[in-house]
């Protein structure tokens, strides 16, 4: 059996993967969000509030966390419709900060002192279960009508519109779905740490989530999975360097992004790893 410490590392890594996937989904439609921490906060606070103050069963609270994340994702999607690239990054960053400050100023949610007394509910099985479901979803999405619309929007938005893709609808769907996943991640997080405060979901969180996905590569959802797994377990492997740990961590990320700017799993590597790999690689 795994030690409690190992299980805890796995749960946090799993939640990081969930968050990285919440970034990947809108990113696969060309929508870069620097506010996934905000959606995570909404999911965490919603679910925790329900289990603590209303004794709502955990699965329902989890669903509510995802729902709130999704609804707010939809709302954030609207102003984001007219924005692209760096401007979208800045607006979503502003959204994340807004959520953080909102919870700092809401006494019902503990304000700056945080929200404590959350019942322990999240187990490794919840996290793995959600990950399996997400992996299945993303695998199927890639070869589906909506998955292609995402890719088309990322490749060339004007051409996608000209070919009949309703870009407004597709973007809002992508944002909302990303919000649902982040909300679920937040709800799982809250019921494992048992204490949440707004600082846990600030800009640092949002940027790390982005780093995980970009480090792993945006060519497929496996990139987000690999990136988040490696980067959230890496600090554990670097314990032996003690005080130098964070510097070494930063250095490793830097070197990796210099060597493989397209991320760990780029299209060429994915083609070689896939079952149809030989044929695809022959053309690559």
Partner 1 sequence: MSGPLLTVEGLSRSFGSLVVLAGLDLAVEAGGIHAIIGPNGAGKTTFFNLVTGALDAGSGRIRFDGVDIAHLPSYRRTAMGMCRTFQNIRLFGSMTVLENVLLGLHCRTRGGLLAPLLETPFRRSPSEAAARSRAVEVLEMVGLAARADQAAVELPYGEQRRLEIARALASGPRLLLLDEPSAGMNPQETLELETLIEHVNQLDVTILLIEHKMSLVMKLSRIVTVLNFGQKIAEGPPERVQRDPRVIEAYLG
List residues binding partner 1 (CB under 8 A): 136-137, 140-141, 143-149, 151-152, 154-156, 158-167, 173, 177, 219, 267, 276, 279-280, 283-284
Name which of 7, 8, 20 is nearest 228 in CA terms: 20
In this complex, which beta carbon is closest to partner 1, that of residue 70 or of residue 198?
70
Q: Which helix (H) or strand (E) holds 270?
A: helix 267-273
In this complex, which beta carbon is closest to partner 1, that of residue 190 or of residue 219?
219
The CB-of-168 to partner 1 minimum distance in angstroms stands at 8
CB neighbour list of residue 84: distance below 8 Å, 6 or more residues apart = 30
Residue 196, beta-bridge partner list: 115
Token reading at 23: 């970034």
The CB-of-258 to partner 1 minimum distance in angstroms stands at 23
Scan for tokens 């909404």, then name that residue.
Answer: 42
The CB-of-174 to partner 1 minimum distance in angstroms stands at 8
In this complex, which beta carbon is closest to partner 1, that of residue 59 or of residue 279?
279
In this complex, which beta carbon is closest to partner 1, that of residue 233 or of residue 267?
267
Count CA atoms within 13 Å of residue 97 on its CB side.
Answer: 6
Q: Which whole-number Å values give the CA distances from 78 to 91, 169, 194, in the listed order?
A: 11, 10, 33
The CB-of-75 to partner 1 minimum distance in angstroms stands at 18
What is the spatial distance between Cα 284 and Cα 276, in angstroms, rounded to a whole number? 13
Greatest CA separation for the chain: 61
In this complex, which beta carbon is closest to partner 1, that of residue 162 or of residue 258?
162
The CB-of-165 to partner 1 minimum distance in angstroms stands at 5
Token reading at 208: 């790390």
Name which of 22, 35, 179 is nearest 94 in CA terms: 35
The CB-of-260 to partner 1 minimum distance in angstroms stands at 17
In this complex, which beta carbon is closest to partner 1, that of residue 94 or of residue 147?
147
């Amino acid at each position: 059996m795994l030690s409690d410490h190992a299980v805890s590392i796995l749960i946090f890594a799993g939640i990081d993967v969930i968050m990285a996937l919440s970034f990947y989904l809108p990113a696969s439609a060309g929508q870069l969000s620097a506010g996934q921490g905000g959606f995570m906060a909404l999911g965490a606070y919603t679910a925790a509030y329900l289990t603590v103050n209303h004794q709502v069963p955990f699965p329902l609270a989890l669903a509510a966390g995802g729902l709130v994340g999704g609804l707010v994702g939809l709302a954030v999607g609207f102003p984001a419709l007219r924005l692209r690239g760096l401007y979208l990054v800045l607006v979503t960053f502003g959204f994340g900060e807004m959520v953080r400050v909102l919870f700092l100023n809401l006494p019902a949610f503990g304000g700056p002192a945080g929200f404590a007394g959350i019942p322990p509910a999240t187990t490794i099985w919840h996290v793995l279960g959600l990950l399996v479901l997400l992996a299945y979803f993303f695998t199927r999405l890639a070869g589906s009508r909506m998955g292609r619309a995402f890719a088309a929007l990322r490749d060339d938005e004007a051409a996608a519109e000209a070919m009949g893709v309703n870009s407004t609808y597709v973007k809002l769907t992508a944002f909302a779905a990303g919000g649902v996943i982040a909300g679920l991640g937040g709800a799982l997080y809250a019921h494992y740490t048992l204490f949440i405060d707004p600082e846990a979901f600030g800009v640092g969180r949002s940027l790390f989530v982005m780093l995980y996905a970009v480090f792993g590569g945006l060519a497929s959802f496996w990139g987000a999975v690999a990136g988040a797994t490696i980067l959230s377990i890496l600090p554990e492997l670097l314990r032996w360097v003690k005080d130098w740990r964070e510097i070494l961590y930063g250095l490793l990320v830097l070197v990796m992004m210099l060597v493989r700017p397209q991320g760990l799993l780029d299209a060429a590597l994915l083609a070689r790893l896939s079952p149809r790999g030989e044929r695809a690689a022959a053309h690559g």
